[in-house]
A and B are shown apart, each in its own frame.
Chain A
Amino acid sequence: MIYLDQAATSYPKPPQVVEAMVEALQSAGNSGRGGHHLSLEASRIAFRARMELATFFGAENPSCIAFTANATESLNLALFGVLHPGDHVITTELEHNSVLRPIYILEEQGVEVSILPADPQGNVDFSAQLPKHLRPNTRAVVVTHASNVTGNLVDMDLVGEFCREHGLALIVDAAQTAGFYPYQLEDSPIDILCFTGHKGLCGPQGVGGVYVRPGFAVRPLKVGGSGIMTFSQAHPDQMPEALEAGTLNLPGIAGLMAGVKYVNSLGLEEIRQRELELTHYFYSEVTKIPGVRVYGDFSTKLRCPIVALNVEGFESSLLSQLLAEEYGIYTRAGGHCAPLMHGALGTGEMGALRFSFSHLNTREELDTALGALRALVLGKGEDDL
């Protein structure tokens, strides 16, 4: 099996992630729910994980990091927690449904929405578009750091400078960039960073987090048990407990911490260089196959390790199916939960076939995938498949 669906979830997980999760299940109770040994051990694991993540992201302190189930929960939390009826929010066609769907609900509730268009290469002209859409009641810009379809990176310095200049909150979807792109959040204009644990951070599914700049108020998405202030009717408003109602996914958090340590042990720069090398190699070879059209902007070296394409005369879903069934090569076809991105790329009807890579993939694996795709495309037309 060759796994080229790393943008969906990273695979395989490092053994130390599995070990950390098993150990947490065997040694930890419920974090923040008592003073006995098992509960304290759980609280210590959660705290150490916060410290690890805070250091990894260059955050001010561990309390800036709250754990969630995934980037989707983090984004819901950020959007519903920051925007009120009467506010205006700016977002883009690059976004995943984890941004778009909460925003559509907020729009029904009276939040004004501007969606910046993307060009056919999947880029947004932020310099021109942001000033054009700025309103007196603009409260926030929410933008993905990288498209999960094209892999194009957004120039966050440019967007951040605009947000700072105009006093706008900047909410960033880092689902594809956490564990790939280096952050120094304390010095950045990002107010809220939403990340998942199971992609670039190499942790398990079901755990993620959100960074909130100190002093930045976010209304909780859920309230309830927090382990503190039991006799107060109001949920605590201090980070991170404010955003963590309910029992934490402690095994997941332990696995995420092990994943971050693993990434650190290899080095983020080394991982990124390896993944970029694979991505550009795949791009240069796959574009030689007749009828292949790759989406996204490959004119810049720095991008996420994703290559999405279509082959003239073939459905992306059929190609993905045949790659899996006949060659054991796993990819992802379809719309990738990013309908507006596909609309901008002109693939709204057909979606695309997405290959995505991690540092654990090899050039030999890519050659095998390229050979398989070439054989499928040249060997037989779709009518024969």
Chain B
Amino acid sequence: MRQTRVVITFHGTTEAMAWENACQANGLPGRLIPLPVQISAECGLAWLISPEQKDEVLQRARQLRLHYQNVVELT
């Protein structure tokens, strides 16, 4: 069975790049992937993390004032 994945979507490429840049600078987990086809979002890039990493990443994102469009769990 496929593991549950969490993807964070973005409004645009620049927003996704700002996210990646901040995550890498702050040691946060995850990586950019092409937007999974089952998700609708404005940007074709998404940030992939595991469900266990979700709370930590989103909390730090708020502190860092990072913008994103949505958070989606894929099973």
Give residues in A with beta carbon < 8 Å to B: 31-36, 40, 43-44, 46-48, 50-51, 62-63, 227-230, 236, 238-241
Contact = CB atoms under 8 A, between A and B. Distances in A.
Contacts of B27: none
B16 A43 contact: yes
Interface string B4-18: 000000011111111
Given A44-B17, A227-B12, 20 more contacts: A32-B13, A34-B44, A35-B33, A36-B34, A43-B13, A43-B17, A44-B20, A44-B21, A46-B13, A46-B14, A63-B14, A227-B43, A228-B13, A229-B42, A230-B44, A236-B12, A238-B11, A239-B14, A241-B12, A241-B14
Contacts of A47: 14, 17-18, 21
- Consensus secondary structure, chain B interface: mixed
A46 B12 CA distance: 13
Given A35-B44, A47-B21, A228-B43, A238 B12 contact: yes
Contacts of B20: 44
22 contacts: A31-B13, A32-B13, A35-B33, A35-B34, A35-B45, A36-B34, A40-B32, A43-B13, A43-B45, A44-B17, A46-B13, A46-B14, A46-B17, A50-B14, A62-B18, A228-B11, A228-B44, A236-B42, A239-B14, A240-B14, A241-B12, A241-B13
Interface in B30-44: 32-35, 42-44
Contacts of B12: 227-228, 236, 238, 241
Nearest to A65: B14
Contacts, number: 58
Interface residues of B, number: 18
Nearest to A47: B17
Interface of B: 11-18, 20-21, 32-35, 42-45
A230 B33 CA distance: 17
Contacts of B42: 228-229, 236
Contacts of A36: 34
Contacts of A63: 14-15, 18
Contacts of A241: 12-14
Given A227-B44, A228-B44, A236-B42, A35 B14 contact: no
Among B13, B16, B34, max chain A CB count under 10 A is at B13
Nearest to B43: A228
A142 to B, nearest CB: 26
A250 to B, nearest CB: 13
User: Shortest 10 CB-CB distances between A and B: which pairs?
Assistant: A35-B34, A47-B17, A32-B13, A228-B43, A229-B42, A241-B12, A228-B12, A228-B42, A63-B14, A43-B17
Contacts of B11: 228, 238
A35 B32 CA distance: 7
A62 B45 contact: no
A246 to B, nearest CB: 14
A8 B42 CA distance: 40
Nearest to A229: B42
Nearest to A51: B21
A236 B69 CA distance: 14
A228 B34 CA distance: 12
A228 B45 CA distance: 9
B45 to A, nearest CB: 6
Contacts of A35: 32-35, 44-45
Nearest to A239: B14
B17 A34 contact: no
Nearest to A241: B12
A240 B21 CA distance: 17
Among A36, A47, A240, max chain B CB count under 10 A is at A47
Contacts of B16: 43
B18 to A, nearest CB: 7
B68 to A, nearest CB: 13
A196 to B, nearest CB: 21
Nearest to B11: A238
A3 B35 CA distance: 50
A210 to B, nearest CB: 14
A35 B31 CA distance: 10
